[in-house]
Structure 1
């Protein structure tokens, strides 16, 4: 039997925008100190998955996160703009509080995962198409049994997971948002000819000691 391939979709570390609950979208925001600590901690865990390829969004927060994984794995990063976060139009740079005050009904839809609600934003269908395309290219570049890592963004990954698993268009809303430096594992079933969800929102979390442990985030 031909061994299946694996895709690992890793969200970037925390930024000041994440911490302040400010809509980030495609604004090019760097990691904050916590985000760099998260990226440094997750890199060995990703390296332990023995990836053969490392791809990343070209936005700064993803590039910085990928750089830690690059150091831990010895892989060179391929940057691809198709892995960018959803562009959230006129709502980018607003805090959640400001967004809720300006357009409460729209904000409620946005918080439920209806990203098409964001005024002037990128259509979810377009995000689905570009994410499916880039992940298809990454999968095709892997040999039998190999693993590829894609460093991307929370909303884009939620959309992508539902799309590559063949879910109805809006079923990704049932997924919780990924934590910063949380990751998804999608494993190929060669017999069925499809990808299967093996893990969602796996994280490396501090345990109150200098080391780190694997936890499955709840909620």
Structure 2
């Protein structure tokens, strides 16, 4: 699960949501660097949000691997209504109660938009659908957005939605690695920017 590269709104701490913002030059460079690392994992398939920032990030991995990218709007970021385009500070000032309720883990339609569970409802099935098509021990790269990735990971791990916030955010162009464990999905790496290392010890 790979988050897109940097955008101008990321730098301004402005809520993007489904607003279609392009990568900065730095974001493109981040995607190119990360793509070279992820290509060494020999992915079998790439699926991405159709928003520019995710699609352009995925295109860098496609360029290195030769794999086509399947685009799916179900992997878009959370729609957040009137919050979109506001800075973090403006959201706190104008929608303090709603913001505080969301941070407490209450189901909140931020800005009149989607619930986090609704984001997971649309995104997690896309990940599962593409994962089921993989060869045995195959690797799928999902290129999406911070909020969508967090809610999807929470859903796949079977966590109660109130606890999804306990999964820390992803930095631009960093990723989380999930794999199959004895009891279902397992989070192997989170907010990584380097290749996974083998786990040596009693907790493998």
TM exceeding 0.5: yes
Q: Distance in 2 between matches of 1:112 and 1:37?
A: 36
Pair 1:129 & 2:106 matched: no
What do residues 153-189 of structure 1 show as CA deviations (whole Å, max 9, x unaligned)?
Answer: 0001111111001111221110111000110111113
Q: Which residue in the other structure is 2:49 paired with?
A: 57
Alignment counterpart, residue 10 of structure 1, candidates 2, 15, 18 = 2
Contact 2:105 2:163 in 1 (8 A): no
The number of residue pairs the alignment matches comes to 197
Relative to 1, partners in 2 of residues 1:35 and 1:123: Cα closer, same or farther, differing over 3 Å? same
**Structure having the larger proportion of residues in strand:** 1
Q: Which runs of 5+ in 2 are unaligned?
A: 198-204
Alignment partner, residue 200 of structure 2: none
How far the C-alpha of 1:30 sits from its partner, in A, is: 0.3
Cα-Cα RMSD: 1.9
TM-score normalised by the chain length of structure 1: 0.84
> Given the alignment, which residue of 71, 78, 82 partners 1:90?
82
Point out where structure 1 has 5 or more consecutive residues left out of the alignment.
Answer: 1-8, 205-212
Contact 2:150-2:167 within 8 A present in 1 as well = yes
Normalising by the residue count of structure 2, what TM-score does the alignment of the two structures yield? 0.90
Report what 1:202 is aligned to: 192
In 1, distance between residues paired with 2:29 and 2:139? 24
